[in-house]
Each structure stands twice: as C-alpha cells, then as structure tokens.
Structure 1
C-alpha cells in the first residue's frame, strides 16, 4: 500500500500504514467485530436457522470486504470500522459447521462431514495467499484483492441461500432412502429446543473441549495470522514467495483432512473415544513440537518444514476435539462451537498485543521465546481432554431432560 502512503503522507507525521501499533489494531479490529458478532449468533441461529443467519452474516462480511479500498482512501478510522464489520460477518463460520453437520450428517459419518466442511478454512488460504501475492505485484495492485474476493463472497452467499436448507428432512432433493440413512440412529424430536446454557457450561466434558480448543486456537492463530510475517521477516522470503510458501501447508492440510475424516469413520474396530483422543493428540502434539523446533533451529529449511507440519497436522483436530463436541452436545452444538469460535477470535484479538510486546523487532531470538511459550501453552491446555472425552450424548440433549426441567410438554419420539 505504498501508493496510499505516498498520497496521504503529511510532512513530519508517520502515516498510519507505517505505524506498527495502528496496523496491529486493524488486525485486532476484525477479531473485535467477530466477538461482537458471536454474542447474538447463538440465539439468532436457534430462532431463524443457520441458513438465514449464515447468509446474512456472510453477506455483511462480503460487503465490508468490497468497501475496504474505499475506506483506505478516506483514512484510518473508516478502515477500522470496515474491519469490525468484516469480522462481525465472519464470526459465525466455525459454529455453522456444527449446525450444518447436525442437520445433514449421519451419526456414522460425522467425522467426514466436519472434516470436509472445515476444509473451507484451508482452501480459502490455498487460494487467497498466492493470488494475493501475485495481485499485490501486478498492475491491478492491492485493491484488486478486495474486489475479487469480496465479489466471490457475494456470489457464494447467494448460492448458499438459494440451495441450502437447515435440515435434510425439508430439502426437496433428498429422497426418502437418503433421508433414512441420514436420520438412522437419531432420536427424532419435533419443534425448537432452547439452549441449556448453564447445563452446558457445567459439563466437565465440554469444559475440557473448550480448554483444548483455547490452547489449540491460540497457537494455530499465531501461525495462521503471523505465519506470513514469520516467513518474510525471519526466513527472508519476499512477498510473492511468502504467498506461495504460506499456501503450501494449507494444500497439505486439506489433503490430510480429506483422509482423516473418512478414516476416523471407518476404523470401527477401534473404540471411537480412542480415535478422537488419538487425532487430538497428534494434532496438538504436532503444534507443540513444531513450535519447539522453530524456536531451537537456525536452519531456514528445518524451520519451514516445522511450520508446514504444524499447520498440516493441526487441521485433524476437527475429528478429535471438535467431533467430541458434536457427539456430546448434538442439537446444541452451535453454542459449543460458538464458544470455540470465541476462543479463536479472542486469540486473534490479543495476539497483536502479545506479538507487539514479545517480538517488536521480529528477530529470530524474539520469535524463539514466543514459540517456546506457545508450545508449552498447547500441552497444558490439552491435558484434561484425553481423560474426559466421550461419545455419549449429554443428558441435556434428550427430550426427557427438558421435560424434567418443565420446559417442554411430552412429545412423541421415535428412533429412526
């Protein structure tokens, strides 16, 4: 954005694009918007369904993306406002995975569903990183990035709203045979169900899931958000090389997810709890080891391999911790996933502050201390999960629990 700096610079004043604190706050503004967007997302999804809410949120984010070049031309505060709105719209993405899987996934294929749906996070980076690197150095410049991806986002949200329905049982293209397969083994209950917030927050399994997610998200967001900075400032890759190098881990992570999801569903000779714990341990263990290696090596190749491996294997936690959340919380999983999203966006919000304090000069020594601390954090936060993980649906997911609480009248139920 050097053209903006040249156009807007005032003598004896540092432009906001050249002020580290201002740029860091712009990163945090997106996370702040996401945290704001998460607060109403659970009751809105419960009331209006994931189709309507995700379409609205996604459209808001897309329009904010399109508006960023104009905001930059005005000044710093309009950019902050656009980033807040952009983050608001993106806040619901992760929790939507749970809601969509609950409405469409057979119990026996839930790992495949959450793995495939969550691969969108990796695919977006596979596309956006190298394309952005090329566009930055092309005749179209940095503004074309926002116009291109903002336009794609608008089209994607229109397509989603047009074709998606919240449940397979109400979609016109789902046959009776297919619907029977999707609903097999599920307890079919009619009507809306209020979210038992207090019961969920007191559930030891859910608390272990949230702790593991917080530890993993803080470390993963450090890699995802500041990975390009690390590649550029420490490893010495230029902008275009950084774009392509940072896309490689996401390509491999997508491939690994496409393998891990179906593999988790098909290894039925291994107890399902063991499968979840195994994938969670591999995922979070790889993150911790990756951080330790990057902290202790002076080799550019070794550091890049560790960085790549950490991101690649981190993705399979979707069939570990996240699958456990899906199995335990069932129809209330959108709340559990919203809290997991909150940990991710909270990490993005505080990381610029932490990075600004821990790595002000972006030297290898500064990053080494930061990476060791994050590696230890990942291990500590994941300790409770292996001991508390289960595949049993929680009591508060069952109609009889709500009847005992006096929240609903008895209703006919059946196992499909």
Structure 2
C-alpha cells in the first residue's frame, strides 16, 4: 500500500512543482528529479507488473485490459533480460530493499532453471504459469538465440552484483553461472558454419533459416557466443558471420550525418539497434577493426533519427526538436519497425527511442522527456510512458511492451551512474570474449 501511494504521488507530480523561488516564480523540476520519476515508474513495469509465478516481464501490459488471445500471462525472455537490469538499478537506488530484490531474483532464476530450453537456449516466449514454450510463430517454437543473448546480458550483470555479496547472494550468482555455462552457442552454428543462426526447433530444426549478419541489434549475441567458457565459438564466426569479412563497413551519410556501418536491409535503422546490445555492453571507447567508435556510431544513429523528425518531410503534427524518436513499437495499425524514411514513418512517436538514447544525446533526450512528461496522462501512466502515440492520428493507446520499457530504465541508469555497464563489463568472461574478437 505504501508503494502504491508513493507511485500515485509521483504520477501526480507536475513538471513544475508547487514550491516557489524567492521571486515567487515556479521552480522547474530538476533533470535529476525528472529522470528519477521516469526511471522509478518504468521500473514498476518489471516489479509490480511482473508475472506472479515466474517473476519475469509480461510481453505486454494493456491498461485497457484487451489482449491478443491467450496472451495475458505470456512472459518474454529478451524483455525480461532488460527488466532484470532495470530491477538491479531499482535495488541499487532503494526503490525496493536489497532483500526484496534478492527474493525476486531467486524466483526468476528458479523459473529459468526449469523452464523450456533448447540446447541451453531459451525461447522467445513462455507461459508464465508453467514455463512451457509459447510459439512466437508456427516454426518458431524452440530456441531463440538472440533473445537468449539479451537475457544473458542481464543475468551476467546480476551475477556481478551478487558475486561478492552475502553467502545467499553468492549462491545465487553460482546458479546464474550454471545457466550461463549451459547455453550451447556453438550448436547454433548449424554444423560448424562460421555464422550463428537465430532459431532452432526440435520439431522444425533449422527451417526458420535465419543466419545473423550485422549490423543490427545483435552485436551482443556474437560477443557472448565468443565469451562462453563452455560452448564458445571461434573468432572466425564473428569476422565471417557477423562482419561478413568486412562487408559490414559501408560509410554513408543520412541527413548529412556520417554513418560508418552497413545497416542490414536499410540505409538507416530503427533506433532500438542503438540500444539492445549496449544496455550492458559499454560503447564508450569500444572499437574493433570494423568501427573506430561504437559510441560515436550509435550517437550519430540517434542524431539522424532526431534530424529526420525535425525536418519532418511528411509534416506530421507534433514532430520537432522536443518530440522525436522512431523505432519498433505499436503503431496505428499493428506493430511496425518505424525508422527515418518516408515509407516507415507513420506519424508515430515511440518514447523509448529518444529516452533510451539518453547516454548518446543527453541534452536532446531530456528535452523529449520533459516535453512528453508535460503532455500528462495521455502519454504517461503507472508504468512510465506508454509505448507509442500519434498526435496526427489523435491516437494514444494506454499500452506497454516490455522490450520497449526496459531500455528506458536501463539507459537512464547508465546515464546517471553507469551501473549496468560497470557490472556487465566487469565479468571476466565478457572481458575474455571482447579480447578474443579484437575489441
């Protein structure tokens, strides 16, 4: 009840507080207070909104109570990886106590120890009550290596948070280590090819046939596959599969801004490609033979997104310097990977795009955060900003997706303290994997 009242108070806070300065002018909410309000509310998606049996993140939470058939209690592996990191930050900030946080992490790990796995690899979705796979598609009913990488990114951060703690915390870290060592990354090369495949099914085998090449959101997949101490892949898998023997390098300009990498299938990508791999992997100072600065590349990707929305070639209502951000999210018609081109720009702003870019574009992202918060309950609810909206279409669905909420809370924390970056990057296996690949 106390937490509920605290949350209600936060939701009712205006952007301008009621306290007065000596000259009786309203005092704007500080950037720190604004970030904390947004982070705390978004954290609650993964804390109060968690599926009860597993403790994991629901794929979606719809405040209108309308769900796809058989989807209300479905939990997501990748979104839960992001959520685990958001919970860690909440523990560290005192949103919940350390003992409450440990109890939740133990529940999550217990679920993961018995839930469906396929050569150590988790599916995209489970039924939260049973741990049985829910197919993401007809043939996608087995292991999802990319979503597993997102989950492992979070678990390795948890491992580092607890490894030097109490005996109970250290015991949990050891259980996480077992889950990490069980992932058979090498199996997903499909007969020792020098590339990783996204899916494998016990029923359909390799029929999904999705080799993962870069650049997209999957860099973390190749780093963790190289880092595994038990089922690791050789460096050639990265260089030939991900980087395609250097073809990943393709310097070009978009909106007059330099991009160095080839964005697979498009000139410029949805903005989540700058987020998912870098929730734990710190892009600051990160480089390899294909990219001299991953931080600069991802910053430029965000700046392209912003510049396009300011130019606003389709003249949408609301787009501008304080309202930008195109990425994969709910849309006016289904789910769309919005991006800065006229075909995939449907007037929809996805708050996660600009807010999760705060580590790259802090001043610009804070402008968006403040503007959106000032819009009030049309776009902000009990678990932070709703997934997407369109002022042009007067479309404001009160719905959330885990995979969009998680990066907001995690990247705000990384901007404020670097906590998740410090934890993940400190893992010795991660350091070994980066060295192996030439980072």
Q: TM-score, normalised by structure 1?
A: 0.25
More helix by share: 1
Indicate the structure whose relative CO is greater, using CA pairs within 8 Å and at least 6 residues apart.
1
Structure (1 or 2) with the greater strand fraction:
2
| Higher alpha-carbon Rg | 1
